[in-house]
Each structure stands twice: as C-alpha cells, then as structure tokens.
Amino acid sequence: MSFSLIRGRYVARFAQTVQDLEAVQVIRGLCFRGEGCVDRDAFDAQCQHVMVEECGSGRLVCCFRLLPLASGEEIGRSYAAQFYALEALADYPAPMVEMGRFCIHPAYHDADILRVAWGAMTRFVDEAGVEMLFGCSSFRGTDWRDYADSFTLLSQRHLGPERWLPRVKAPDVVRYARALMGSQGNPKQAILRMPPLLRSYLAMGGWVSDHAVVDPDLGTLHVFTGLEIGRIPAARRRALRLVAG
C-alpha cells in the first residue's frame, strides 16, 4: 500500500528509502532521546513508517510507524507485547494495527500536523479494513505523580473494557487505577497534561490500561491505548474521512 495525502501546508506519505527511514529515526531521537540522538530498534524493519512533511521546505515535522496484524492471534508480534500481557486481545477476530513512536518535531506547534497525521491513519485503516487501532501513549518523565490529575481522569472515565484489558507484565509499573481510587483530580489540568496523541484517542472513544509502565530506556511512562474503529462517534468519523479524502 502506498499513498500521498496533501492537506494545506503538509503532505503525508510512507517512507520509501533508507534515507527516509534514517530521517524518521533522527526526528524520533530528537523527540524521545535528545538532541543528536538516533532512535532505532528491531521493530522498524517490520513496520511501515508514515512521514508528515512541510510542503514548501520538505522538512519532516511528524512521523509514526504502523504494524499491521491480521487478527489478535498475532498480538505477540507487537511492540506493546513487550510491556503488557495481551492474552485477552489474542481472541480479537479482525485486522488490527499498532501505531507507535508517534512524534511531532518540537519546533512545530501547528494543530494541522496532528490533523493530517490522523487523516493518513484514517486512510490506512479504511483501505486495510482495520477494526482496532492500539499502541502505547507516552508521558514524558517517569514520575507518575507529575500527571496525577491525568491518571485520575483516565481511571475514572477511560479504562478499557474488561474483556480486552491488558494485564501486568513489565517489572516496573504504576497501578494508578488502584492508587487513585476515590481521588478528585482537576479535569482541566488533566487534559492539558496529557500527550496530544492520547487526547485524540480519547476523543474518538479510545480506552487505556489500568496501569502505566515505567520505560527507563525512553524516560517515559506509557499506558496501553486501544481504539475500536466501529465505536468512533459518527461525526468524528466524518471529519476524519474528510481529511483522509
């Protein structure tokens, strides 16, 4: 599958060359590891990589990778399976795709970048017949108390359904749903402190795991995030498909 999606100042496309992949790994290094670092791992070779570039300059401003799975039987191949026990999803009967390493260049703050990225994702999901999108949504830093308001909101409103909920696997986790039971957070601060990708998932009806994983390699906290395509509100689906063309 290949595509090129142009909307306003930005174009989304799949990486096609070694040079494209290297550019993706450089921007990921900048976002996840710091200036001058490169981020690469063994999953890169299994994935398709989406690049969002500025039309005029050709500068890469956003990227993410996609790992298509024929059904839940292949869930063990996913990046997330390193950190979460996903046996509950092994019975998922339809095509899935894992979205990972999503990042936007820190020098860019244009909301249209995220909109174009989701438009590209929507086109992929529609053309591949995907019925569930999932991945790890990352908070910068490893002290979950910095995001107590966000985790309170997640535990109260956005935990996944029991039939799909991941179980603990990683050695270092925060069982925030248990720790924050009965807590009162600040909903406005909760939303402001959440990663933009996670906010987008939740706005479409996405859900999260009841625990967060501490990832010392990337210096992040992350929650497993799932989105059943059929549960996206109709108005949101129309808006996404308008961008996707």
Q: Which domains does the chain have, with CATH numbers?
A: 4-244 (3.40.630.30)
The pair phi, psi for residue 193, each rounded to 5°, is: -85, -10
For residue 92, the model assigns a pLDDT of 96
The answer to whether the beta carbons of residues 95 and 51 sit under 8 Å apart is no
| Claim: this prediction has a pTM higher than 0.85 | yes
Nearest to 231 by CA among 196, 200, 206: 206
Instruction: Give Cα separations from 102 to 71, 165, 178 (angstroms).
Output: 22, 22, 28
Condensed to tens digits (0 to 9), the pLDDT of residues 136-163 reads: 999 999 999 999 999 999 999 999 999 9
- Amino acid identity of residue 31, one-letter, is C
Residue 98: phi and psi, rounded to 5, are -95, 125
Query: Mean pLDDT across the stretch 113-123?
Result: 94
pLDDT in tens, 30-75: 999 999 999 999 999 999 999 999 998 999 999 999 999 999 999 9
